[in-house]
Structure 1
Amino acid sequence: MSRKNQLFYHSSEAVELADYMDEDAEKCDDVDRLSDLPDNLLCHVLLKIPTKDVVKSSVLSKRWRNLWRDVPGLDLGYGDFPEYNEFVSFVDRFLGFHSESRLQNFILDDRCLDLDYEWEYDEPHGANVNRWINAVVKRKVQHLHVLESKWEVDEEVEIPAAVYTCESLVTLKLRDAFLPDPESVSLPCVKVIHLDEVKFANDQALERLISGCSVLEILTVNGDDHDCVKVLRVCSKSLLSFTHVGQCEENIDEEDLVVAVDAPRLEYMWLSDFGTDSFIMSNLGALVKLHMDVRFNLSYQKRLDPNDVQKRNMIRKFLVGISSVRDMDIASDTLEIIYDLSRCERVPLLRNLSSLSAQFSDYRWEMLPVFLESCPNLKHLSLGFSTTPGEQPVSIMPGPHGFLPTLEYVEIGKPMGDEEAETKLVSYFLEKSTVLKKLTLFLDPDRKKEAPVILKKLLTIPRLSTSCQVVVADPLSFWGP
C-alpha cells in the first residue's frame, strides 16, 4: 500500500496503535482535554483543517476512528491521491456518509498536484464535478470552492444550474470553470464570490449572477479569458469590495472591452488591467480605498491621442467616477495616462483624497506634480521606485509646479539610486510644501553607511515649512508601495 493511500485507509498497524492508545489512556492520570470535548465541537474544530489531516486523526484512538466521517465538510486536493479513480472513490464515499445531513464546506483544488501527470479515469472529470456539486447543493452547502487547473485542453467544468438557486450558499469560489447563462438566480445568502479564469456564456451571465445575490459584499474577477464578454458589468447595492485583475498587456485584438461598476456602498476597489479599453464608474460615493494600475488599452507605442475625444472623455469620466476616494495606490503607468490627459485638458479634482501611494517602474517622477495639483487636500504621500529603467521615457512639459498647501508627510522608499534625481525630488517637496511636518527618505541597505552624508546634504535644501523634519531611515521600516 502506497504512503498516500495510508492517509485514507487504516492499516493494521494504525488500528493496533489506536487500541494501544486507548489502553494507555486508561492507565494515565492525565486528562485528554481535546478528547473530552463533545463530538459536535470536535467536528467543528476538524472542519477548519484539510480532510487528509482530518482522516489522519482517526488513528489517535477508538473514539476518533470514525469521527472524520461526521465532519460536515470536505477540503481535498487532487494531489492528495496518486490516482484519479481513487480520488473519485473517496469523494463518493465521503458524500455517502450522512447523505441527508447539511454540509458546510465543499472544497476541491489542485494542491500538491503534478500537472505533468496524465490522469487515467473511467468518466469525464467534468461529469464527476457536476455530480458532486448537485449532491452538495441538495445538502444545503454553505461554502462551495471548485478550483480547477484545466486538466485537459478540450475539457471544461461547467457549473450546474442548481448552484444558481442554492439558498444556503454563502461563499462561491471557482477557477477554470464555465458559467452558463442562468434563467434565474436566487442566492439570498451569498456574501463572497471569487471567479478566477472563469468563462462566461455571455455578457449577461455575470450580471445576472450578481443581481441574484442581494447581500453580496465581496466580488473578485480575475483573468482575461472572457471570449464571449464585451461588457463586464458589476451592479450591486450591497457590494463593499470589488477586485478586477485582467490582462497585464494591452489588448492585441483591439476589441472594445468594458468594465462597468455601479455600487453605491463600495468601499474598496482593486483595478489591475492593461487590456480593458474602457472603465465606467457610477455611484461610488462611499469609496474609501482604491488600487489602480490600468492603461485603458494604451501602451508605450500607442499613447493617448489628443484628437481621440472619445478616449479622453472616457478617462475624464472615470476620474470623476472615483473622485470620492480617500486613500489611493496608483501605478506609474496610470499616472502616465493621466499626465497625457493633462496636456490636453484639466484633470478632474480628487477633493477627498488624503493619502496617496505611488509606485514608479523607473525614475520618471516628474509626471507626479501634475497629478498632485488635482489632489487639493492630500496629507500623506508615499513613493516607491524600481531599479529598472523605463522602456521609453515620457516627454515632460517644462514649467513651474504649484505649491502643496496641505501635504504633511512624505515617505520615499526603495530609493532611486540616481543621486541627482533623488535630490531633485526631495527639493521639490521641501520647496513646495507649506505645512510639511516630516519627510522621510528610506535608504537602500547598500547605502546605509552613507546616511550621515546624505542627511547633511538634504538639510542644506531650503524648506518652505520651518517645522519640517527631514529623516534618513532604515528601509525595513518603510510601509509604502
Structure 2
Amino acid sequence: MDTRSLIDKAKFRKLNDNRNASSTSLCDLPEVVLLHILSFLPSKDVVRTSALSKRWEQLWISVPKLDFNDKEFSQRLRFINFVERTFLLHGLSPLKGFSLSCSIHYNKSRINAWITSAIRRNVEKLRLCLDVDKRAAVSYRLPCCVFRCETLTELHVEMSRHIRLTSSVCLMKLKALTLVRIDFGDDNSVEKLLSGPSLEKLSLDNCMWWKLKALRISAPKLLSLSIVELEFCTDFKCDCRVFIIGTSLESFYYHGECAYDYTLSSSSALVKAAISVDHPFDEKSYQFSYHGYKLLKDVANVRDLTLSYDGLQVYSSEHMVDSLSSFFNVWIMSDPSIGLDVFFDIFL
C-alpha cells in the first residue's frame, strides 16, 4: 500500500472518529440541556425525535412546551388526532409555553378544550393565533380560564373577532400582552385586561375600539407600549378617546392615522418615542392632524424621538408650527435625506 493510500485511510478513520465523538457527545448531554434544545422545535418535530433511540423515545414527553400549527398537516383529522394524542401522552406535566395556530372551524368546543388543558397545566406563556372568517356567522368566545390563569406571564391573542371577556379578569402575573386584530366591541371590561398590576409590555396591533366612547390604559408597571392602528380605520366612526396613564412608561411606539384622540399623561419616565403617521384622508385631515399634534405635545419631554416623513407633513400646518418649535431635546430623523425643508420650517 502506497503512502498516499495510508494517509487517505488515516483521514477517513479520523473523520469517522470525529463523527462518532459528536454523536456520542450529543447523546451524553444532560437531559435538561436536551429538553431546552427540543423546546425550540414545533411539537410535530419534537415527537419525531422519539425514533432516534430508546433514550429519546420518552424524552419528548418531558418537553415543557407544546406548539401546534394546523398548516403543518395536510388533513384536518390528522391535526386533531395529533394534538389530542400529544396531550394524552404528555400527561399533566407543567407547561412553560403553549402555542396554538389553527382555524376555529375545526370545532370550537374542541379548541377550547385544548386551551383549557394548557391552563390546567399551569402554562406560563400562551400564544393563540385563531383563524376566524369574519364573513361567517360564527360566534366564538375564549375560555374564561384564560383571563383567570394564576401562572400566566405572557399572553398573545390573534384573531379577527370581538374578544369577549369574563367580568372577572384576574391575571396577577401577566407581564407581556399582545393583541392582534382584536375588536374590543363595546365591552369596557377590556380595560382590566390592559391595566394589569404586573403588566410591563403591551402591544396593540391592528385592533379596533371604535365602538367604545373611551379606553383607559393604566398599568402601573407598564414600561413599553406599542400601538399600530388598523389600516383604513377611517372607514369607521372614530369617537373613542384613549387615555394612557404612563407612570412608568419608558418606550412608546405609534403607527397610524391618528384617527383616535390619544392622551398620554404622567409620562415623565419616557425615554424613547417613535411616531409614524400615515397621511389621513382629506375630509378628516384637520381632525386627525390635531390628534397627532396633541400626541406630540404629550411626548414633549422625551429624550429620543423618531418621527416619520408623513408625520412631518401632517404637523407642518401653519397654526401648529410655532407650538412645535421648542418641544424636543433630541430629534432623530427616520430618513434625514428627505423632508428637510419641512423639518427646517418647523424646528429652525
Secondary structure, aligned partner of 2:56: coil
Between the two structures, name the one with larger relative contact order (CA 8 Å, sep ≥ 6): 2
Whether the aligned pair in 2 keeps the contact of 1:159 and 1:180 (CA below 8 Å) is yes
CA distance in 2, matches of 1:135, 1:127: 12
From the superposition, tell whether residues 264 and 71 of structure 1 become closer, same or farther in structure 2 (CA, over 3 Å).
same
Deviations 1:53-92 (A, max 9, x none): 2122222212112321221211121111111122111111
From the superposition, tell whether residues 31 and 247 of structure 1 become closer, same or farther in structure 2 (CA, over 3 Å).
closer
- How far the C-alpha of 1:281 sits from its partner, in A, is 1.0
Aligned to 1:259: 242
From the superposition, tell whether residues 83 and 245 of structure 1 become closer, same or farther in structure 2 (CA, over 3 Å).
same
- How far the C-alpha of 1:318 sits from its partner, in A, is 2.7
Aligned to 2:347: 372
The total of aligned residue pairs comes to 329
Residue of 128, 136, 150 corresponding to 1:167:
150
Paired letter, 1:190: L
TM-score of the two chains, using structure 1 as the length reference: 0.62
CA distance in 2, matches of 1:124, 1:231: 36
Paired letter, 2:148: T
Secondary structure, aligned partner of 2:234: coil
- How far the C-alpha of 1:181 sits from its partner, in A, is 3.0
- How far the C-alpha of 1:285 sits from its partner, in A, is 1.0
CA distance in 1, matches of 2:235, 2:183: 19
Secondary structure, aligned partner of 2:188: helix
Paired letter, 1:204: N
Whether the aligned pair in 1 keeps the contact of 2:210 and 2:237 (CA below 8 Å) is no
**2:316 is equivalent to residue 334 of structure 1:** no
Aligned to 1:248: 231
CA distance in 1, matches of 2:49, 2:218: 45
- Map 1:319-358 → 2, pairs under 5 A: 319-340=296-317, 342=319, 346-347=323-324, 349-351=326-328, 353-358=329-334
- Map 1:280-291 → 2, pairs under 5 A: 280-291=263-274
Q: Give me the identity figure in percent.
A: 26
Aligned to 1:448: none
Aligned to 1:99: 91
Residue of 63, 74, 77 corresponding to 1:71:
63
Whether the aligned pair in 1 keeps the contact of 2:270 and 2:301 (CA below 8 Å) is yes
Paired letter, 1:105: G
Aligned to 2:72: 80
**2:172 is equivalent to residue 188 of structure 1:** yes
Secondary structure, aligned partner of 1:264: coil
TM-score of the two chains, using structure 2 as the length reference: 0.83
CA distance in 2, matches of 1:33, 1:347: 63
Aligned to 1:39: 31
- Uncovered stretches (5+) of structure 1, i.e. residues with no partner: 1-24, 111-118, 374-481
**2:112 is equivalent to residue 130 of structure 1:** yes
From the superposition, tell whether residues 92 and 250 of structure 1 become closer, same or farther in structure 2 (CA, over 3 Å).
closer
Aligned to 2:121: 139
Whether the aligned pair in 2 keeps the contact of 1:172 and 1:190 (CA below 8 Å) is yes
- How far the C-alpha of 1:174 sits from its partner, in A, is 0.9
Whether the aligned pair in 2 keeps the contact of 1:203 and 1:230 (CA below 8 Å) is no
The structure having more radius of gyration, on CA atoms, is 1
- How far the C-alpha of 1:108 sits from its partner, in A, is 1.5
- How far the C-alpha of 1:336 sits from its partner, in A, is 2.0
Deviations 1:22-70 (A, max 9, x none): xxx9xx6776122223434422321122212212222221211232122
Deviations 1:300-324 (A, max 9, x none): 454427xx9xx75x55543331112
CA distance in 2, matches of 1:348, 1:269: 21
Secondary structure, aligned partner of 1:356: strand
Whether the aligned pair in 2 keeps the contact of 1:249 and 1:275 (CA below 8 Å) is no
- Uncovered stretches (5+) of structure 2, i.e. residues with no partner: 1-16
Secondary structure, aligned partner of 2:235: coil
From the superposition, tell whether residues 47 and 261 of structure 1 become closer, same or farther in structure 2 (CA, over 3 Å).
same
- How far the C-alpha of 1:332 sits from its partner, in A, is 2.3
Secondary structure, aligned partner of 2:190: helix
Whether the aligned pair in 2 keeps the contact of 1:336 and 1:367 (CA below 8 Å) is yes
Name which of structure 1's ranges 247-256 and 58-67 shifts more when overlaid on structure 2.
247-256
